[in-house]
């Protein structure tokens, strides 16, 4: 229903722009959409029509909403629009954006444009912005905002409420208020809810929580989002090493972080270099090639080894050529078994359900799972090869005994490699399907031909 | 730092419980942890020590925090604890939980226990609870709470604030207030922030948003979480088909939904039946086998076809046995190429960056990517096979021309199959690595042997 409404809006705006009816398109947007919807339409205009028309349409939007519409756009579209509007318009947008959105935009822009924008700011403002721009990407500092409500513990509830009314504040940053001491150290937090429901004459100190949860400005965003998930907070204070409050992070930014981290894992687990900032359709063919070719090449090299192993068994193969037909099944099942284990362990570690200390429990579980699955598949294959394919029992025995060993080995490799990677500080997500399959393929080939040589006596 | 603190707490409590020093363990918990931390420790006690000690420890917690600690526990631990405490204690917990947490707990409990718990509730209460228990799992209705603040549009801001102060309300449900008409239809929403910063004498109507975003009670939770991600809201109203307000959903529950949906996708993409409610380590070996064996079996069947194809080329193979050595590389590279495309398209669709109307653009992109990658890998292989392996140029030509065709075919299959699945209403995540690899394996084998037969003239 929601999707249909958007689809209709997008189509009508696109049709109007085709005929360059900007005023009508603007009217349709303002009547039927809020800021997020308008941003979605602009995105479609850029993708489906052209950038110039999107820029003209964007410039016709009322000043009161243009900055917020801008903040909903993906970053590459933001840069494209910035390059198409005047300095004065850029300045307006930057001024209107909330602090964390502004930093996000500035981070994406080329340095010379940032300098131009900041040249009209006060020295103090430039200093803060530059500090923020210097936090490494993906740390708590790069997510936080300095738009938060500061109270002192001596204030009464009524004074605190009056203060909040005075300073105002946009969006969700108002729902938790922070109390600092003279040295800017964080002393406590109090929610707006508590202030609203508490008696006017009491003091903030009576209600503030002193045992609050906070994150360090250099903590990784993945840890920050795990803390949010654990506690279900709307906002969290960010402190430096001296426990001085430097900013806050709100939950709406965490939603994006979670999706970004998941996309990164999905991509790495498929052997694609992660490039999670950009959308699939917006990326050029060359960039897709650049992200995919490296792993395909590395994995292909591993098959040189596998090929070499096979070549060394060529005499065996030429004697019983029917062995070749079972090779893909053994390799495929080995790869699939290993991938299952790897995915579950990688996901378990990402969700903090499995940690390195559990290595023994994981191994013991996977060994038993491997034995059961291996045995079942092995019996099925023995029967199939003897009766259905009409091969001799020795070939069937070679295939099915190899199957047991391969499944157990694959489950072991699949579960242990991601944990080993984590131990040495490599992202476990890299030890997923493609990497695991190429390793299990080697194991499968060696196991199979060794079994065949022994059992068939060739 | 945060992790170290928790580790120390967990270890000291475990050590104290080993010696059955419950009072000391309780003291350590209350001094060093908040409700979420205590739940985490209890979880560790259940996993590492035993359930009985966890129950004793849980029963020693002050009544004031026990329900909240309970709400942070994973659902299987909740059921285990419920089974170990008295009816009176259960009733206390149920009374203290917020409405949506209570429904979550009741959903997990066996029907006879639910009846026992509800037997002491009023008829009205039982009716509401039963309505909630009947919403299908995974729809908006199963996520929502009825704890929300209701205002009327005639109220002044001062009256509205007084009303909020009076009804109180826990947690984050207070930050957006809802205005209904006489027929319970949703008329508008107003944020607590707006109320706080607006003049006392104005009316709610002056500030409420009437063009709010809402979800239907039967909407899928994935759509709900996408709407949250798009708008960055803290809460969203849930309405029935007559647009009557039936509840609200808060962002903290959406964090869990996002992770659940992602875990489901990760599992499906690895050929594991999804079982995202339970943690890896908590699941028995048999349950793991049950979740993994079906897909391994189905995929294995596909290799019967691949094996059959190879068998039909046995004469070709026996003439040029060295062809076998390149088979794993072609199959592996085909599988990896296809998986890359499938993963990116599946993720793009889940993130709503790609929709079914983009099928032409995706296909055209993947074709060009496939041609470039195929060509590069093909040239590398030709050189390698001629100079490094010392095979004749005809074998090299067979392998490298097969490589181009296989990579292009794999990219096409990998990108189109998930879109086709979505079109016919199957979860695209099922069309990932294992499924794609077994399909591309067939294509690889046929292509390779067909090329070899033609080029080598055998």
List of chain B residues whose C-beta atoms are within 8 Å of the C-beta of residue A234:
172, 175, 234, 251-252
Note whether A259 contacts B300, CB cutoff 8 Å: no
Instruction: Tell me: pLDDT of A134 over 80.
Output: no
If you average pLDDT over every residue of chain B, what do you get?
86
Mean pLDDT of the A374-391 span: 91
Flag whether residue A316 sits within 8 Å of chain B, measured between CB atoms: no
Per the listing, tokens 């799972």 go with A369
Distance CA A339, CA B418 (A): 19
* Distance (Å) from the alpha carbon of B406 to chain A's nearest alpha carbon: 13
Flag whether residue A401 sits within 8 Å of chain B, measured between CB atoms: no
More confident residue, B412 or B284: B412
**Nearest-CA neighbor of A206 among A155, A271, A252, A133?**
A155
Mean pLDDT of the B237-260 span: 87
Which among B227, B346, B358 has the least Cβ separation from residue A281?
A: B358
Which among A255, A328, A344 has the least Cβ separation from residue B272?
A: A344
Mean pLDDT of the B178-201 span: 87
* Residues A287 and A247 grouped into a single domain: no
Which among A192, A252, A263 has the least Cβ separation from residue B232?
A: A252
Last residue of a domain, one of B204, B232, B251: B251
Digit-coded pLDDT (tens) for A66-125: 888 888 888 778 888 888 888 788 888 877 887 777 777 777 777 777 777 777 677 777
* Distance (Å) from the alpha carbon of B445 to chain A's nearest alpha carbon: 9
Note whether B332 contacts A303, CB cutoff 8 Å: yes
* Residues A316 and A235 grouped into a single domain: no
Does residue A19 sit in helix, strand or coil? coil
Mean pLDDT of the A384-401 span: 89
Characterise B355 by phi-psi region: left (phi > 0), alpha (psi -120 to 50), beta (else). beta
* Residues B173 and B226 grouped into a single domain: yes
Q: Which region among A23-27, A130-134, B194-198 has the lowest average model confidence (pLDDT)? A: A130-134
Q: Which 359-388 residues of chain B touch chain A by CB within 8 A?
A: 361-362, 365, 368-369, 372-373, 376-377, 380-381, 384
The stretches of A239-392 forming alpha helices (DSSP H) are 251-269, 285-312, 314-319, 327-350, 359-383
Q: What share of chain B has pLDDT > 70, as a percent?
A: 98
How many folded domains does chain A comprise?
Answer: 3
- A389 is a domain residue: yes
Token representation of residue A252: 């709406």
* Residues B393 and B357 grouped into a single domain: yes
Which among A280, A321, A368 has the least Cβ separation from residue B285?
A: A368
Query: Which CA distances in Å does A104 have to A79, A228, B323?
Result: 11, 21, 54
Token representation of residue A255: 């939603």
Q: Which H or E run contains B374?
A: helix B359-383
For the beta carbon of residue B53, count every other beta carbon within 10 angstroms. Answer: 18
Flag whether residue B172 sits within 8 Å of chain A, measured between CB atoms: yes
- A71 is a domain residue: yes
List of chain A residues whose C-beta atoms are within 8 Å of the C-beta of residue B233:
252
Residues sharing a CB contact under 8 Å with residue A14, sequence separation 6 or more, in sequence order:
A44, A45, A48, A49
Write phi, then psi, for A260 (nearest 5 degrees): -65, -45
DSSP string, B299-339: HHHHHHHHHHHHHHTHHHHHHSGGGGGGHHHHHHHHHHHHH
Distance CA B316, CA B302 (A): 22
- B140 is a domain residue: no
Which among B295, B303, B437 has the least Cβ separation from residue A329?
A: B303
Mean pLDDT of the B243-248 span: 87
Which of A29, A321, A368 would best serve as a mutation to test chain B binding (most B beta carbons within 10 A)?
A321
DSSP string, B3-44: HHHHHHHHHHHHHHHHTT-HHHHHHHHHHH--HHHHHHHHHH
Q: B288 with A365: CB under 8 angstroms? A: yes
* Residues B15 and B65 grouped into a single domain: yes
Mean pLDDT of the B359-368 span: 94
Residues sharing a CB contact under 8 Å with residue B239, sequence separation 6 or more, in sequence order:
B186, B214, B215, B216, B217, B245, B246
Distance CA B138, CA B222 (A): 8
Q: Which H or E run contains B191?
A: strand B186-191
Characterise B86 by phi-psi region: left (phi > 0), alpha (psi -120 to 50), beta (else). beta
Write phi, then psi, for B170 (nearest 5 degrees): -85, 165
Distance CA B134, CA B103 (A): 10
Burial B298-323, CB ≥16 within 10 A → b, else e: ebbebbeebbebbeebeebbbebbbb
Q: How far is CA A140 from the centre of its chain?
A: 15
If you average pLDDT over every residue of chain A, what do you get?
86
CATH number for A119: 1.25.60.10
Three-state SS sequence of B144-159:
CECCCEEECCCCEHHH
Q: A248 with A217: CB under 8 angstroms? A: no
Flag whether residue B347 sits within 8 Å of chain A, measured between CB atoms: yes
Q: What pLDDT does A2 receive?
A: 61
Distance CA B9, CA B2 (A): 11
For residue A158, what is the nearest residue in chain B, using CA coordinates? Answer: B196
Distance CA B413, CA B370 (A): 11
Note whether A348 contacts B213, CB cutoff 8 Å: no
Instruction: Tell me: pLDDT of B229 over 70.
Output: yes
Query: Which CA distances in Å does B95 have to A318, B60, B66, B291?
Result: 75, 18, 11, 37
DSSP 8-state secondary structure symbol assigned to residue B136: P
* Residues B79 and B111 grouped into a single domain: yes
Where is mean pLDDT largest: A315-324, A409-418, B255-264?
A409-418
Contacts 24+ apart (CB under 8 A), A116-119: A116/A87, A117/A87, A117/A90, A117/A91
Distance between start and end Cα atoms, chain B: 68
Please say whether the dihedral angle defined by the alpha carbons of residues A255, B276, A274 and A46, taken in this order, is positive or negative: negative
Mean pLDDT of the B301-320 span: 87
- Residue A361's pLDDT band, with cuts at 50, 70 and 90, is very high
For residue B337, what is the nearest residue in chain A, using CA coordinates? Answer: A296
Digit-coded pLDDT (tens) for B64-98: 888 888 888 887 788 888 888 887 888 888 778 87
Q: What pLDDT does B76 receive?
A: 79
Q: What is the ipTM of this complex?
A: 0.78
Query: Which CA distances in Å does A212 have to A132, B33, B35, B216?
Result: 24, 10, 12, 36
- B204 is a domain residue: yes
* Residues A312 and A449 grouped into a single domain: yes
Q: What share of chain A has pLDDT > 90, as a percent?
A: 24
- Residue B169's pLDDT band, with cuts at 50, 70 and 90, is low
List of chain A residues whose C-beta atoms are within 8 Å of the C-beta of residue B269:
266, 343
Contacts 24+ apart (CB under 8 A), A37-40: A37/A6, A37/A9, A38/A65, A38/A69, A38/A72, A39/A69, A39/A70, A39/A71, A39/A72, A39/A73, A40/A6, A40/A10, A40/A72, A40/B230
- A144 is a domain residue: no
Q: Which H or E run contains B265?
A: helix B251-269
Token representation of residue B166: 């009076």
Flag whether residue A231 sits within 8 Å of chain B, measured between CB atoms: yes
For residue B301, what is the nearest residue in chain A, using CA coordinates? Answer: A329
* Residues A355 and A245 grouped into a single domain: no
Mean pLDDT of the B260-264 span: 87
Distance CA A101, CA A143 (A): 9
* Residues B125 and B192 grouped into a single domain: no
For residue B43, what is the nearest residue in chain A, using CA coordinates? Answer: A353
For residue A224, what is the nearest residue in chain B, using CA coordinates? Answer: B2
- Residue B448's pLDDT band, with cuts at 50, 70 and 90, is very high
Show the domain range for B52: 2-134
Cα angle vertex B365, ends B362, B367, to 5°?
A: 105
Q: What pLDDT does A252 receive?
A: 84
CATH number for B327: 1.10.357.20
Three-state SS sequence of A132-167:
HHCCCCCEHHHHCECCCEEECCCCEHHHHHHHHHHH
Instruction: Point out which residues pair with B151 in neighbouring strands.
Output: B179
Q: Which H or E run contains B132?
A: helix B123-133
Q: B202 with B154: CB under 8 angstroms? A: no
Flag whether residue A294 sits within 8 Å of chain B, measured between CB atoms: no
Last residue of a domain, one of B84, B99, B134: B134
Flag whether residue A83 sits within 8 Å of chain B, measured between CB atoms: no
- B63 is a domain residue: yes
Flag whether residue A258 sits within 8 Å of chain B, measured between CB atoms: yes
Distance CA A125, CA B168 (A): 40
- Residue B329's pLDDT band, with cuts at 50, 70 and 90, is very high
Flag whether residue A161 sits within 8 Å of chain B, measured between CB atoms: yes
More confident residue, A87 or B288: B288
* Residues B308 and B445 grouped into a single domain: yes
Distance CA A277, CA A268 (A): 14
Angle of helix A327-350 versus helix B433-456 axis, rounded to 10: 150
CATH number for B245: 3.10.580.10
Token representation of residue B184: 């319970």
Flag whether residue B42 sits within 8 Å of chain A, measured between CB atoms: no
* Residues B30 and B105 grouped into a single domain: yes
Q: What pLDDT does A75 receive?
A: 76
More confident residue, A357 or A104: A357
Distance CA A185, CA A235 (A): 18
Q: What pLDDT does B172 receive?
A: 60
Instruction: Tell me: pLDDT of B171 over 60.
Output: no
More confident residue, B396 or A78: B396
- A411 is a domain residue: yes
Mean pLDDT of the B176-180 span: 89
Q: A284 with B358: CB under 8 angstroms? A: no
Distance CA A152, CA A180 (A): 7
Last residue of a domain, one of A109, A134, A159: A134
Instruction: Tell me: pLDDT of B1 over 60.
Output: no
CB contacts < 8 A (A, B): 339
Instruction: Tell me: pLDDT of A169 over 90.
Output: no
Helix, strand, coil abundance in chain A, percent, nearest 5: 70, 10, 20
Q: What pLDDT does B66 receive?
A: 86
List of chain B residues whose C-beta atoms are within 8 Å of the C-beta of residue A353:
279-281
Digit-coded pLDDT (tens) for B97-155: 877 777 777 777 777 777 777 776 777 777 777 777 778 878 888 888 877 888 888 89
Q: What pLDDT does B120 receive?
A: 67
Distance CA B346, CA B418 (A): 6
Distance CA A338, CA A361 (A): 17
* Residues B103 and B226 grouped into a single domain: no
- B415 is a domain residue: yes
Residues sharing a CB contact under 8 Å with residue A324, sequence separation 6 or more, in sequence order:
A317, B310, B314, B317, B324, B327
Q: What pLDDT does B101 receive?
A: 78
Token representation of residue B51: 């359930």
Q: What pLDDT does A397 receive?
A: 94
Instruction: Tell me: pLDDT of A171 over 70.
Output: no
Instruction: Tell me: pLDDT of B245 over 80.
Output: yes
Q: Which 193-212 residues of chain B touch chain A by CB within 8 A?
A: 193, 196-197, 211
């Amino acid at each position: 229903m929601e999707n249909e409404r958007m689809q209709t809006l997008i189509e009508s705006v696109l049709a109007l722009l085709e005929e360059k009816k900007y005023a009508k398109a603007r009217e349709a947007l303002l009547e039927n959409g809020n800021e997020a919807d308008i941003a979605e339409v602009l995105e479609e205009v850029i993708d489906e029509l052209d950038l110039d028309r999107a820029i003209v349409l964007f410039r016709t939007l009322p000043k009161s909403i243009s900055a917020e519409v801008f903040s909903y756009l993906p970053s590459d579209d933001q840069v494209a629009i910035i390059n198409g509007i005047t300095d004065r318009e850029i300045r307006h947008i930057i001024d209107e954006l909330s602090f964390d959105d502004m930093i996000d935009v500035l981070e994406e822009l080329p340095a010379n444009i940032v300098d131009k924008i900041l040249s009209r700011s006060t020295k103090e403002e430039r200093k803060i912005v530059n500090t923020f721009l210097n936090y490494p990407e993906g740390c708590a500092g790069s997510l936080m905002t300095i738009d938060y409500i500061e109270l002192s513990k001596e204030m009464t509830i009524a004074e605190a409420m009056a203060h909040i009314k005075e300073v105002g504040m946009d969006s969700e940053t108002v729902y938790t208020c922070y109390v600092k001491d003279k040295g800017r150290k964080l002393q406590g937090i109090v929610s707006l809810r508590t202030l609203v429901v508490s008696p006017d004459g009491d003091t903030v100190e009576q209600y503030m929580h002193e045992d609050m949860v906070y994150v360090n400005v250099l903590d990784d965003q993945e840890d920050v989002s795990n803390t949010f998930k654990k506690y279900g907070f709307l906002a969290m204070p960010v402190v430096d090493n001296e426990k001085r409050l430097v900013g806050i992070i709100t939950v709406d930014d965490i939603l994006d972080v979670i999706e970004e981290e998941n996309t990164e894992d999905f991509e790495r687990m498929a052997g694609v270099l992660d490039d999670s900032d950009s959308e699939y359709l917006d990326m050029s063919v060359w960039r897709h090639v650049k992200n995919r070719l490296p792993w395909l090449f590395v994995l292909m090299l591993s098959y040189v080894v596998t090929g070499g192993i096979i070549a060394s068994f060529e005499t065996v193969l030429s004697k019983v050529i029917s062995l070749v037909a079972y090779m893909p099944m053994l390799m495929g099942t080995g790869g699939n078994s290993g991938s299952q284990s790897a995915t579950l362990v990688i996901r378990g570690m990402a969700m903090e359900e499995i940690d390195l200390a559990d290595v023994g429990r994981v191994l013991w579980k996977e060994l038993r799972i491997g034995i059961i699955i291996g045995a079942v598949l092995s019996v099925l294959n023995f029967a199939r090869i003897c009766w259905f394919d009409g091969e001799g029992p020795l070939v069937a025995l070679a295939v099915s005994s190899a199957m047991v060993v391969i499944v157990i080995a694959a489950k072991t490799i699949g579960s242990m490699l991601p944990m080993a990677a984590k131990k040495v500080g490599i992202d476990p997500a890299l030890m997923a399907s493609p990497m695991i399959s190429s390793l299990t393929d080697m194991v499968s080939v060696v196991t199979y031909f060794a079994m065949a040589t022994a059992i068939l006596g060739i």
